[in-house]
Every structure is written in structure tokens, then in C-alpha cells.
Chain A
Amino acid sequence: MRLPAFWPLPRTWQGWLTTALFAFMYGPILVLTVYSFNDSIRYTSVWQGFSLKWYESLFQDTRIFRALQDTLFVAIVAVAISSVLGTLMAIGLAKYYFPGKGVYRGVSYLPLIIPDISIAVATLVFLASMAIPLSIWTIIAAHMVFCLAYIAVVVSSRLGSLDPNLEEAALDLGATPAQALIQVLLPQLMPAIVAGCLLAFVLSVDDLLISSFTAGGGANPLPLEIFSRIRNGVKPDMNALSVLLILASGMIAALGEYLRYKGSTTMAEQFKGDDVCAILLSCVGMNWVNDLPVRYPDLQDPGANRRFR
């Protein structure tokens, strides 16, 4: 049977499967978006007309905005510190050869596969035993644990694809090791550093578990606030908030993609499509954490084959 020339539906079973999977992934988000505009008194599945009233009530909610402030503060500080340390960690692990390096590297990237709950409990127990009072700074410290590993892993994957002689070329031309790092290596790594930061940022904003164990002293990040509200029944203003968060994440992802596109026209092969995919997926709320070691199996040492030539 020939299908007509205009046929909006898939033509093959592969097409149908793809459509079904996308519906499975994005259906809930679509429903949530639609219901955030529902003109209802409380949470209901009955459509009662279009309204922006939940958005209005959201914008009048100062607690939400204080929570958002806390979240952004935690994410920005944790990512800022981690970006420096994570980049240095990746460079150090790629560049130097020392005994026990394999173990050291394994330990460095371990937070990627340790369940959040373990990090959360361990941090709490540690803080308690050291008698350190919980505050917003303890959340930042706990978030840095995983931010560091994520940024390092993205940067090291980029490092592996760089010309191993770049730094040597800079030294050869008379640059000091510091100049070689700042003027040559860091600019080449910048796309990966930005990608890693965006990823870590999104994960930090998203984190509920670790924050809930380490929050104290009036710090109340957004996910905690949402969670505590949902316990007393879902109100449609939470739908509205989720829609806004998804939009914001989407915009960050689009920005990352734009930077990559713009960069790729002036620089050589920029951060791999992989990095961008990762950001995009994590931004739309997919949990790809457990998937990471599969995505980045190249945690091997890019410097090793260079040294033994």
C-alpha cells in the first residue's frame, strides 16, 4: 500500500518506536505544562479553562524566590570553585605520571558512581562528628564533591582529544609553563570547561537528596522547598514553577549549544557533540548519572601513550 505524499505520521516501524519513546519521555512534561494553565481551585485533572493565575500566585510567593536565591547561590559558588579545581585535576591526571596514579584517578572520579544517598549520609555523619554546624556552606561543600568530578570528567575527555604536543609546542616557543597553561591549554579546554560547568550547575540546582541532609541555618534550596510543599498535596503553582524551571534549563542548554556552534566556526573541533547531548538531556530532567561511566569510558590516561614513545 502506498502512503500519500503528505503523511504526517511515521512511515516505518522504527519511526513509530521513536515516536512512542519520545511520547513516553516528554508526555508527562507536556501534561504538566498544560495543567499549569488550568483555571482550577486546587489540583485536579479536569480541564476548567485557560488561566495564568497559578503563575501569578507563584510570582507573589516570596518564599519560593528566597529558595531560588539559595539554590542559585549554592550552585554558582560550588561550580565556580569546582571549575578551577576540576580543571586542574583533569590536567594533572593527564599530564603527570606518578606511582599509584590509577588508584588516584579512580578515587577522583568515584563520586560519579557513588549513590547520592551515600554522599549525603557520609557528609552528614562527618559534619556531625567534626561538630561543624550545618549551614548553606555545608551544602556548597557537599555539592562540590560531585561538581568537581563531573567537571574533571568532561575536561579530561576533551584533553584526550587534544594534540598531546600543544603544551610542549608552547614551551618550545619560549613560553613559561604558566604561560603555556594560560595562553594555550586553557583556551583550548574552555569549551569543555564551560560544558562541564553547565552540567554541574544543572545537577546542583536539581539536587534534593544531598541538600536535604546537609542544609541548615535557614538555608532552604528550591528542591527542598518544592518537596516539602508537595507533601501537603500538590498545588498547581508547583506545575507553573516546574514549567519555568524547564524553560530556564532549556535556555541554558540552547546557550551552550549556541556557544558551541559559534565556537566551532572559529575554532577547531569544539567540545564533542557528546558533551552537548549530555547537557541537553540532563537539562530536560533525564537522569543520566548512572550512564556516565558508559558515556565516558575514556577515563584512561591520555598522557600515558605519549610518555612511552
Chain B
Amino acid sequence: MMLSKYLSGILLVEMSLGNSAAIRGTTLIMSQTVSPSIALPQTQQVLDVELRQVSKYFGGEAAIQNIDLKIREGEFFSILGPSGCGKTTTLRLIAGFEQPSAGMVLIQGRDMSRIPAHRRSVNTVFQSYALFNHMTVKDNISFGLRVKRMGRSQREQRVADALQLVKMESFANRYPQQLSGGQKQRVALARALVNRPAVMLLDEPLGALDLKLRKQMQVELTNLHQQLGITFVMVTHDQEEALSLSNRIAVMKDGDIEQIGTPSEIYDYPQTPFVADFIGETNLLQGEVEFADSQILRLLTPEGTTVLVNRSEANLPDLKTAVVSVRPENIRLSQEAPLNEGNCYSGYVKHIMYLGTHLHCVVQLQTGERLTVMQPNRSEQSLTPETPVYVSWLPSDCLALAA
């Protein structure tokens, strides 16, 4: 009786392993044809990481509260938010360094509540790298394989592959403190990758690098992700990084997930004022709903500005107040009164910041609001502070959000 139960258990495990391998294969083929900025099809239901109603309290204070997260196999998923929003805690819960106060963490469909960090098939790249300074680069990378008692020849082969993958072959016998920041970063990546985890966790992986190196490593991270087909979960506060690398992004604020979506969904159709403001730059105008029909919404701000906004994208219930988000690049700046644009206001230029390709202007409206406008840098325009200007945008170029 016991034996048959045991055997059927093994059979089940093998079947599920076989299944997931087959699905993994298809993912790999797909990920070669799908470019990284496009989301994987919604129909794909294999989840590598799942958080169900997870909360974590530290001494009575909630770091995260009732989070639901579904990370699909093979995707590059970013958790984005300001510092203290609980994004690192979320990552540490997946890695197993913290136990959830409530809820459940699943990795590849298995409940992780009784599985300690060292028995989870995830590997972490720490922000501080956490390299072992008393070991050479090679020993650092082979550490995971050594503690798993992998045979020498196989181990050496894997380490060599990993070194090659991060282009660090010639540094194998150096010690970590003989490496630059970017090189340490590569070693940390290799040390995690060599274990062939189901999920790679990256905690602000590029936070300590300078701008140029960061751009370079972003490209390499994307390449690695495509080559390996492993699920990447990255925590970052850098919205540009999240937008350029991820298949999907979860935006977090105060221990809650504000929105999950593809980079373009998050940028073009933010669901909350916080997301609109945090991802990229935006102008938020709050006001009372004066008029609403099936297509258009008219808002009156406390300063007395009337704003028209298309209703189609924002599935707002009948609200008394709403917030309109206008991206600076969607606002047109002109010195003559424009033709009918829907929203048009006069004011004067308050500040100008020269950004090379663009001019970053702050426009003071006559009604009192200030708007940020991003204007392509064209030489025919002669904008100086105090220049009277008109700002305008179409109702379809802005978005109404619940206040």
C-alpha cells in the first residue's frame, strides 16, 4: 500500500517534470521569435512564480500587504517602485530569505512555505554582489555546484561556460577585490546563472554602476535573458531600466501593487495617478467632473481651468472628481493661438532647461497651474523665460484617472 503510493508519487513527479520540460522547449523557441519588449501571449498559463495574498510584517509594520503576483515562465519581470515600497521584501520572500506573515509563495507551482532558501531553484544577484572575497572568481562561480556535489569535470565545464557567457574568461583566477564594479557584476551574474535556476532574482542589479556601464549591462542582461530563456525577476527603482528591459512590470507603492502590465500599458495607460507620475513625467490636474457622456469628460480644476478628456480609455465609473494626466511630450507649445485643439490655455514660460534634443519648459498658466512641457529642440523657436505662450493638447492625448 505504502509502496504503491510512493511509486505513484514518483510517476506523478516524472510526468510533471516531463511536461514542464516540453513546455520549456516551446518557450525557448518562442522567445527567439518574440522580441523582449513585446509581452508573451496572454494564453500562456505556466507560472514560474506566484504570490497569493502575501503579506509581510516587520514588528507590526506592514512591508507588503495582500500582494498577488503571477510571473510567467520565461518572462523578464520587473518590480518597480520608490525605495521603501516593499519591492526588495517581495524579492526576498521569493528567494526564501524571509517568510511571509500571511499568504503563499509558489515556485513552479510548488508551495514554498516549508522550503528554505537553499533548497529553492532560484538564484539571486545581490545589489552589493555579495561575492566571497576569500575565493577566486572561479571558486565563487563554482560554489553553488560544489555544495551540490557535482562531479569535477562537469563542474569545470559549467563554470567555463558561465565565464564565457559573461565574457570573464581571463579573470578566472582573480580575487573579487581585484575587479571593477562592472566585472564584479558579471561574476555575480555568472555565479547565479551557473546553477541553471528556474528563476533568476536580480535586486537592483545595476544600481551601483555608472551610467555608461549600466546601459551596456542592460543590453547584456537582455541578451542573457534571450539566450537562456530563464525567468528573470528584477527589482529596480529606475523606471527607464524597467521599461527598456522588461516584458512586464509591477509598479509598487507602500507595500501594494498599483499596476501590472507591459511597459507600454504602464506608460500609455497608467491606472492610478501614482503610476502616471512615477513612470516617466506627467502633469496631473485634479478637478471636479462637470460634464460626462459616453465619449468625453469635462473637468473643472479648483483654479478654474476646464479640461476635456476622452473617456474611451479610462473605464471610470461615475465619479465626482478625477485626475487628468498629460505627458509633457503630448503638450504643444506655440506662440500664436492654435486652432481648435480641445484643451488650449495661455500662459508664460517660467523656466527652461536645455536637454540637447529637447527643451524642458515649465509653463505658468494664467489660471495659476504650472505645466511641464517637453518640446523638441528646434532652432526657429526663440523661447526665453517670460515669453507668452499657448499650451494645447487633444482630449485623446490625456488620460482620466480615479483620484
Distance between Cα atoms of A268 and B133 in the complex (Å): 6
Distance between Cα atoms of A266 and B132 in the complex (Å): 12
Stretch at the interface among B141-149, B248-256, B320-328: B141-149
Distance between Cα atoms of A163 and B117 in the complex (Å): 18
Distance between Cα atoms of A174 and B144 in the complex (Å): 6
Q: How many residues of B contact A (CB 8 A)?
A: 32
B346 surroundings in chain A (CB, below 8 A): none
Is B58 an interface residue when CB atoms closer than 8 A count as contact?
yes
A183 surroundings in chain B (CB, below 8 A): 143, 147
Distance between Cα atoms of A166 and B132 in the complex (Å): 7
A:268-283 near B, CB below 8 Å: 268-269
Is B361 an interface residue when CB atoms closer than 8 A count as contact?
no
CB closest residue in chain A, given B142: A173
Query: What are the interface flags for B236-254 relative to A under an 8 Å C-beta threshold, 1 for contact and 0 otherwise?
Result: 0000000000000000000
A80 surroundings in chain B (CB, below 8 A): none
Is A184 an interface residue when CB atoms closer than 8 A count as contact?
yes
Is A165 an interface residue when CB atoms closer than 8 A count as contact?
yes
Asked if A171 and B116 make an inter-chain contact with CB atoms under 8 angstroms apart, the answer reads yes
A173 is contacted by which of B123, B128, B176 (Cβ under 8 Å)?
A: B123
A173 touching B177 in the complex, CB below 8 Å, given contacts A165-B128, A308-B58? no
Q: How far is the CB of B55 from chain A (nearest CB, A)?
A: 16
Is A175 an interface residue when CB atoms closer than 8 A count as contact?
yes
Q: How many residues of A contact B (CB 8 A)?
A: 27
Q: Once A and B bind, how many residue pairs between them come within 8 Å at the CB atom?
A: 83
A156 surroundings in chain B (CB, below 8 A): none
Is A177 an interface residue when CB atoms closer than 8 A count as contact?
yes
Is B97 an interface residue when CB atoms closer than 8 A count as contact?
yes
A:174-199 near B, CB below 8 Å: 174-177, 179-180, 183-184, 187-188
CB closest residue in chain B, given A186: B134
A169 touching B130 in the complex, CB below 8 Å, given contacts A267-B177, A308-B58? yes
- Of the A-B pairs whose beta carbons lie under 8 Å apart in the complex, a sample of 21, sorted by A's number, is A163-B128, A164-B128, A168-B95, A168-B124, A169-B126, A169-B132, A170-B143, A171-B97, A171-B117, A172-B123, A172-B192, A173-B144, A173-B147, A173-B191, A173-B192, A174-B118, A175-B118, A175-B143, A183-B143, A188-B132, A267-B175
Given A172-B124, A173-B191, A175-B118, 18 extra CB contacts under 8 A: A165-B130, A166-B132, A168-B130, A169-B124, A169-B126, A169-B132, A170-B132, A171-B118, A172-B97, A173-B123, A173-B143, A173-B195, A174-B144, A174-B148, A188-B132, A267-B177, A268-B176, A309-B89
